[in-house]
Structure 1
Amino acid sequence: MLILQAGGLEAAIIPESGGILSRLTWSDSAGRRHEVLRPSPDGKASTASPNFFGSWAMLPFANRTFGSVVDDGEARFQVPANDPVGTIHGFGWQSAWDVLEHDRGHTVLEHRRIDGPDPYRYRARQEIRLDAAGLTIGISIRNEAETVLPFGIGHHPWFPCAADTRLVMQAAGALVFGEAFRATGQESFADGGPYAAPRAFRSGSVTAWSFLGWDGRARIETPSTGLAITLTASESLRCPVVWAPAGADFLCVEPQSHAIGAPSEPAARAAAPLRRLAPGEVLEGWLRIAPEAL
């Protein structure tokens, strides 16, 4: 486990378990300690099933590919299944990452895929940096195959959610979902979408959005704990998924480069597709998580 520290922030990273950022805590000026990301109940990270805590990389595509099919309209192939519906969140979260650099407030991790039953061959990196005001994660993937392939990237933060937690973010539109989160089309918002104005997030039913045209900023406020979190992301990660089960004690705002289901679903691909990378070409982006006292 790697520990990073800067100011009142401390992060824990487990390279061998998917390169997961397993914990992020912040001590405010009054000495109160806040869990900025949802902590693991037992401190353990799994590569057998997705982790419901911390934050971790999604690549070479984010979220779901139904039936384990990757089809961008030009290339079509199967990838290994890791979920009942097909393949979820790619391969990075199930892989060990090598530590290339590490100091008190910074680390660089690398994961390479050099074989497998599908064409994906790539070199992925995460650069995780703490400063006194927040945490920044840079993520990149380089196509190391000998052919053009469709790629996507993202990161999957899990934020604590209390009864009074509210989410504020704006987007131009979203996918329309049919059964099992399969896209059937898209809709436009005239007013910035369902979270344009502050509102309590927790709901008695599942929350699931694949937003389009996000402005790159989301704010999560919890008055009962006195914590506000601002999430920002690069232009390349402006297709966030927002998800939580009914009544959950967490919420997910997942910056990613393409719409949910885009690896396999024509309607999602039409809205926000994967990026076709030539051999040696790189897709990259960043997200930043900054806590503050309310």
Structure 2
Amino acid sequence: MLELKAGALQARIHPEIGGLIAALEWQGPDGRLHPLLRAPADLAPSTVAPNRMGSWAMAPFANCAFDRIIDDGEQRIALPDNRLGGGHCIHGFGWESDWVVRGHTAGHTVLEHRREAGPDPYRYRVTQTIALDEAGLTVKLALTNEADQALPYGLGHHPWFPAAPDTRLRMTARGALLFGGEGYRATGASALDGGGPYAEGAVFATGGEVAWSFLGWDGTARIETPSTGLAIVLTASESLRCPVVWAPPGADFLCVEPQSHAIGSPSETAAREAAPLTQLAPGETLEGWLRIAPEAL
């Protein structure tokens, strides 16, 4: 485990467990230690299944390749099942891998995950540069195609933010996927009026599942919880403007996941038409960044 610290911020990172940022905490002006990422005391970091804690990189694609297939309209690539028998491949391979530490200081680390073998043609190198400053945490991602052929790639990060019944989410987007059938399979996409359901900072908790794959996000999301006196501001690069927003019923968390493509784009035609993966020739690189910053309410 690595520890980072800068001013009132501190983070714990597990390179050997999926490169997981297991905790991010901020000592606010009120003297309290506020969790900026969900880190339940009874949940241990693990690569057995994607953790419902912290934040972790998604590569060489984000979210789900249904039926274990990458289909970019020209080629179909079979992938291994990494969803505990669910028949799909989820969030790529970085979250279940041992990342190598390439550099580490008090407030900065560089992690690398490299895939050099497997039943499919994906061979790549992805680096996470994780840095704390006194105002927030920044994660920079860079994924390079090391295969001997052009392949479709995607990137993302999966933060699990703490939430309470009074938590409000403020973000705007121009559109969203339409889901139908099992497991968020896209049937199309639609424009959103007025910036979408969270443009005015709606209360997030609805009593039911929340699931959106937004398109045309402006790159900023603000999560406010008056009962804790905390606001969390998430920003992301132009390359990660297809965020997934998700939480199951009654959850004490919400996910706002900056990613480079829509849910299901690896395998689903409707999702690919809305926001596809990025075709990388051998040696080409896909980059992106996100930042998490606290504010006192």
TM-score by length of 2: 0.98
- RMSD of Structure 2 on Structure 1 (CA): 0.7
Corresponding residue for 2:266? 263
Corresponding residue for 1:110? 112
Corresponding residue for 1:194? 197
Correspondences of 1:229-244 after superposition (within 5 Å): 229-244=232-247
Corresponding residue for 2:93? 91
- Is 1:171–1:212's contact at 8 Å kept on the other side of the alignment? yes
Corresponding residue for 1:119? 121
Corresponding residue for 1:15? 15
Cα deviation code 1:151-177 (max 9, x no counterpart): 000000000010100000000000000
Residue type of the partner of 2:30? A
Q: Distance in 2 between matches of 1:21 and 1:55?
A: 5
Residue type of the partner of 1:269? R
Answering whether residue 223 of structure 2 is matched by residue 220 of structure 1, we say yes
Q: CA deviation at 1:85?
A: 4.1
Q: Distance in 2 between matches of 1:7 and 1:17?
A: 26
Cα deviation code 1:168-214 (max 9, x no counterpart): 00000000000120000001012000000011101211000000000
Q: CA deviation at 1:126?
A: 0.1
Q: CA deviation at 1:125?
A: 0.2
Residue type of the partner of 1:222? T
- Is 1:22–1:40's contact at 8 Å kept on the other side of the alignment? no
Q: Distance in 2 between matches of 1:30 and 1:72?
A: 51
Cα deviation code 1:16-46 (max 9, x no counterpart): 0000000000001221110100003335211
Q: Distance in 2 between matches of 1:44 and 1:53?
A: 9
- Is 1:75–1:149's contact at 8 Å kept on the other side of the alignment? no
Match for residue 131 of structure 2 among 111, 129, 132: 129
Residue type of the partner of 2:186? A
- Is 1:227–1:291's contact at 8 Å kept on the other side of the alignment? yes
Task: Tell me the secondary structure at the aligned position of residue 191 of structure 1.
Answer: helix
Residue type of the partner of 2:73? G
Task: Tell me the secondary structure at the aligned position of residue 256 of structure 2.
Answer: strand
TM-score by length of 1: 0.99
Residue type of the partner of 2:106? R
Correspondences of 1:26-45 after superposition (within 5 Å): 26-42=26-42, 44-45=44-45
- Is 1:17–1:94's contact at 8 Å kept on the other side of the alignment? yes
- Is 1:141–1:283's contact at 8 Å kept on the other side of the alignment? yes
Q: Distance in 1 between matches of 2:75 and 2:7?
A: 47
Q: Distance in 1 between matches of 2:142 and 2:40?
A: 26
Q: CA deviation at 1:222?
A: 0.2
Give the stretch that moved more between structures: 142-151 or 43-52. Answer: 43-52
Corresponding residue for 1:248? 251
Quote the sequence identity (%).
65
Residue type of the partner of 2:222? R
Residue type of the partner of 2:59? L
Give the stretch that moved more between structures: 132-141 or 79-88. Answer: 79-88
Unaligned runs of 5+ in 1: none
Task: Tell me the secondary structure at the aligned position of residue 233 of structure 2.
Answer: strand
Q: Distance in 2 between matches of 1:110 and 1:69?
A: 25
Q: Distance in 1 between matches of 2:51 and 2:43?
A: 11
Q: Distance in 2 between matches of 1:219 and 1:293?
A: 12
Q: Distance in 1 between matches of 2:40 and 2:91?
A: 19
Corresponding residue for 1:280? 283
Corresponding residue for 1:82? 82
Unaligned runs of 5+ in 2: none
Q: Distance in 1 between matches of 2:192 and 2:88?
A: 31
- Is 1:139–1:285's contact at 8 Å kept on the other side of the alignment? yes
Answering whether residue 213 of structure 2 is matched by residue 210 of structure 1, we say yes
Cα deviation code 1:236-270 (max 9, x no counterpart): 00000000001110000000000000000000000
